[in-house]
A and B are shown apart, each in its own frame.
Chain A
Amino acid sequence: MLARTPVISARALTKSYGKVEALCGVDLDISKGEVHAICGDNGAGKSTLLKILSGATTYTSGSVLLEGREVAFSSPQDARDQGIETVYQDLSLAGDRSCAANIYVGREIMRPGLLGLLGFLDRKAMKSRAKELFEELSIPIIDPGRAVRAFSGGQRQGVAIARAATWATHVVLLDEPTAALGVRQRTAVAELIRRLKQKGLAVVLVTHDIPEIIKLADRVTVLRQGKAMATRLTREIDISWIVGTMVGQNVREVAA
């Protein structure tokens, strides 16, 4: 196992919607500089876990620890304020606005002095910083002043990940990041994820795509019927182990 102290952890986390238990006692530890995949079949509890970690919903019992101290996010904004950024499957970009505007939405850079106090934006500063950011992450967008709509799916994914990379101080949550992409674009996203890792961020990858888990993640936690069945280093397992655990075949191994 990785010997580092976890950035974010879940302890005996449960979430029930009326009588339905979406999560029943999940434990999870995610470390700095680690890509941690969470996988499971539909209804296994992946999206509930993601919603709790991103602040979109609260949990019923248990606890979430951020750098060892207990936290309860009241909203996605609260989670963002504490350094947790989410890249949603739909990317949450405004297609008609520029890449720079999308990166700085809600955290705009203002003009210095009186104009800034009057609410005037410093678009130039936002554009040039976005350009630096794209260069740093090797995202192939030359003009961040252009509308997001003008770019391809892979480039848009790049904008969404760049935004998370700019603002996250602890964790980036990625929801099915390559589901809508082609082969070459997937390679580019894999490269981006590696760079997030190099920045020392904890990356949580929620996905269906099992080959991708083996390729991108350091560790994987398999959820089944609201429980964390097992957590393994990806280099020690293979696709058939993940599939088996997802459908409940490796239960004996988990118990062992």
Chain B
Amino acid sequence: MRSAHTISVAEAPVRPAWTSRVSNLNALWITVALLIEIAVFSIWLPAGTFLSFFNLQTIAGDAAIILIVATAATVVILTGGIDLSLGSTLTLSAVCAARVISIVSPNSESLAALAGVATAIIVGIGVGIFNGYLVAYRKIPPFVVTLGSLSIGLGLARLASDGVGVSGAPEGLRILGQGTVAGVPMPFLVALGIVFIFAVLLEQTRFGERVYFMGSSAEAATRGGINVPSYTMWIYILAACLAGLAGVIDFARFEVASVSTGHTTELIAAIAAVVIGGGSLFGGIGSVRATAVGVFIPVVLANGLLIAGIERFWQDVITGFILVIAVAFDQWRRKTEALR
């Protein structure tokens, strides 16, 4: 008899609030994993290398770019989409910014810095409109659209730079990329500011609630009167703008806009951070704050391995593994949650 198993409406909820329990569990998992990572490196590596002030600055600097890209990845993944072009948008906007700077620089250094930032953001808006329009209004799967724009962006970046890096950052930009406040690197402070703004936007505002809502059920959102395509378009524009900003900060930090890698490592680390932070690739679940903590797992690992003298390219191998393991772990966890 089926009716014997059905639960009366008068009973308490079948299980405790799912989302809050998962996020608590998640915060615990991430913290434990991160502490183990730090402990292993502290013991393994010579004293004064891994746990030094200088290295903490390096970790913060490395984390900054990934924090911004991971924030962008979070908002897109919350809608159930994906943006594989974040790394190439970063590259393209860095190259374009560097190009514009080299033109404006001889006239005015400070104007050049502003023009560089503006260029990067405009490039981001352009890529975002391209991705957003095709995903939201032409209903092309985001995986395909952003894989295409990854290739387009990287190709354009190489064309614009003749295949080699563009260098030469003006004074104003060097402060943005290399300055410190009380020992904390400027890029890291900017990244924290962005994480804070997006956490508030997503958790406290109507815009954020609707993004979560449509990520959880696009149909329920549409029936609730939400213009899902318009919101989707805005999400891709916001994400690409963040990638553009990350691009100009990266250029300001290293004084060179490199086109060799297309920043795929950053992209993969960012997506891994979203999943580590409890985000669901199906949308509707995740948070910018949890992602921000998740960012440190691949960043600390890469840093520690670099100090240990392990070949730099192992970083890509390991970041890839972290992504796959994080998704596998997430699926296993959701399955066991569902069975309870």
Contact = CB atoms under 8 A, between A and B. Distances in A.
Contacts of B217: 92-95
B225 A80 contact: yes
B24 interface: no
A76 B220 CA distance: 12
Nearest to B205: A119
Nearest to B200: A120
A158 to B, nearest CB: 6
Contact of A146 (B17, B204, B212, B214): B17
B7 A120 contact: no
Contacts of B19: 96, 147, 149
B52 interface: no
B18 A97 contact: no
Contact of A151 (B13, B207, B216, B285): B13
Interface in B202-225: 204-207, 209-210, 212-217, 219-221, 223-225
A181 B6 contact: yes
Given A92-B217, A93-B217, A150-B14, A185 B8 contact: yes
A77 interface: yes
A188 B9 contact: yes
B77 to A, nearest CB: 13
Nearest to B280: A96
A133 B43 CA distance: 58
Interface in A145-159: 146-147, 149-155, 158
A155 B204 CA distance: 26
Interface string A104-147: 01111010000000111100000000000000000111110011
Interface string A183-208: 11100100000000000000000000
B226 interface: yes
Contacts, number: 120
Contacts of A141: 13
Contact of B18 (A102, A147, A155): A147
B14 A106 contact: no
Nearest to B7: A152
Contacts of B223: 76, 86, 88, 92
Contacts of B205: 118-121
Interface string A60-103: 00000000000000001100100000101010111111000110
Contact of B216 (A86, A95, A155): A95
Given A95-B217, A108-B206, A147 B17 contact: yes
Contacts of B8: 154, 184-185
B107 interface: no
B10 interface: yes
A143 B9 CA distance: 14
Contact of A150 (B16, B213, B219): B16
B138 interface: no
A18 interface: no
Contacts of A211: none
B15 interface: yes
B216 A97 contact: yes
A93 B217 CA distance: 7
B2 A151 contact: no
A226 to B, nearest CB: 26
A185 to B, nearest CB: 5
23 contacts: A90-B219, A93-B220, A96-B215, A97-B209, A105-B224, A105-B225, A106-B226, A108-B209, A120-B205, A121-B205, A140-B9, A143-B17, A146-B13, A146-B17, A147-B18, A149-B19, A150-B13, A150-B15, A182-B2, A182-B7, A184-B3, A184-B8, A188-B9
Interface of A: 76-77, 80, 86, 88, 90, 92-97, 101-102, 105-108, 110, 118-121, 139-143, 146-147, 149-155, 158, 181-185, 188
Interface of B: 2-3, 5-20, 204-207, 209-210, 212-217, 219-221, 223-226, 284-285
7 tightest A-B CB contacts, nearest first: A182-B6, A106-B225, A154-B9, A105-B224, A94-B216, A106-B224, A96-B216
